[in-house]
Structures are given as C-alpha cells and as structure tokens.
C-alpha cells in the first residue's frame, strides 16, 4: 500500500479588514498529517486514494482585527504518480475563539509521498461568533519544506453578514 503524506491545507485564511468586507492575506505552516490513511486503487501503478488530517499555525494574518491562530484541515486526495487532485475542509481558529469554515479544492505535485507544490481555490461557507454568516473566496499557493511541513500563502476576499 502506498503511503501518501500530503498536506495541502490549501485554504488557510487571514485578512486585513474594512468594516463589512476585507481582503485575505495570510500565511500558514502546516505540519505532516497527524492522521493519514492510503489505499491503492489497483487500476494502475501509483494510483491511490488517501485521507489525512493535519494542523496548521498561522504565521501572518488577522480578520476583523483578531489574529488568526491555528487551523485544522481534513482532506481527500486522488494521487496518480506524483500528481494529486485534492479537496477538503479547513477550520480556521482565531485568537478570540471564533472559527471560519473553508472548503477547498486543488492540485499538488509530490516526491516520495511528500508535497512539493500545491495550488488551490477556496470558499468560506460560514463562521462562528462575530463571523457568523461570513462568505468569501480566494486561492492559496504552497511549497513543501524539508521537514515534511508545507507553507502556504493565501489571498482572496470575504464579506461579513449584514
């Protein structure tokens, strides 16, 4: 069975905000998956389905004046050789306890089961606390690091519920 340890969080969010809407400008470092499972599909060599969960730390970004703190992603990967199609959900936790729920989809390249580059688009479906009803969209670009972690730069826009 091929073990795939791909982190693509790909959504990872942050923003500098105007009153009812803002720009997302964030950076995240995501660790190797804390849980990962992979199954060979069997139709061709190197084709596997995998699911993983990983934790991230915000290194830049805030929303409505509150710093982004940490995140957790749960992701499904369809890997064929060194090419991966992925989709998942990322939960962005802010310093005040509010959360943002983000769905994402994208692609990645890997080497020896480790992410080399990741690209995705994301959309915000909701939030908690003062971010209840938030909507948004954008994209992230990521690069794998020597220690197995992945660093992401994310940009986009969001609008708060009125």
pLDDT at 53: 97
pLDDT digits (tens, 9 = 90+) for 41-100: 999 999 999 999 999 999 999 998 899 999 999 999 999 999 999 999 999 999 999 999
CA distance 129 to 123: 19
- Dihedral angle sign, alpha carbons of residues 31, 119, 66, 53: negative
Would you say 54 and 33 are in contact if contact means Cβ atoms under 8 Å apart? yes
Helix (H, G, I), strand (E, B) or coil at 98: coil
**Tokens at residue 70, please?**
């940490």
pTM (2 decimals)? 0.85
CA distance 47 to 1: 10
- How is the chain split into domains, by residue range? 15-159
Residue 122 CB neighbours (<10 A): 26
Q: Which fold has domain 15-159?
A: AOC barrel-like (2.40.350)
- Dihedral angle sign, alpha carbons of residues 102, 106, 111, 117: negative
CA distance 53 to 26: 20
Average pLDDT for residues 3-25, to the nearest whole number? Answer: 51
Would you say 68 and 90 are in contact if contact means Cβ atoms under 8 Å apart? no
- Dihedral angle sign, alpha carbons of residues 108, 5, 37, 138: negative
pLDDT digits (tens, 9 = 90+) for 79-91: 999 999 999 999 9
Single out the residue of 116, 82, 100, 125 nearest to residue 26, CA to CA: 100
């Amino acid at each position: 069975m091929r073990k795939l340890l791909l982190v693509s969080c790909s959504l990872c969010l942050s923003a500098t905000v105007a009153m009812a809407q803002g720009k997302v400008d964030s950076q995240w470092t995501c660790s190797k998956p804390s849980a990962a499972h992979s199954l060979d599909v069997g139709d061709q060599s190197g084709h596997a389905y995998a699911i993983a969960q990983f934790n991230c730390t915000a290194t830049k970004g805030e929303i409505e004046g509150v710093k982004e703190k940490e995140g957790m992603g749960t992701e499904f990967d369809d890997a064929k050789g060194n090419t991966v199609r992925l989709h998942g959900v990322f939960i962005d936790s802010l310093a005040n306890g509010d959360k943002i729920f983000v769905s994402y989809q994208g692609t990645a390249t890997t080497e020896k089961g480790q992410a080399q580059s990741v690209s995705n688009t994301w959309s915000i479906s909701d939030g908690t606390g003062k971010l209840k009803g938030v909507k948004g969209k954008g994209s992230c670009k990521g690069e794998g690091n020597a220690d197995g972690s992945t660093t992401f730069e994310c940009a986009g826009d969001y609008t708060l519920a009125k």
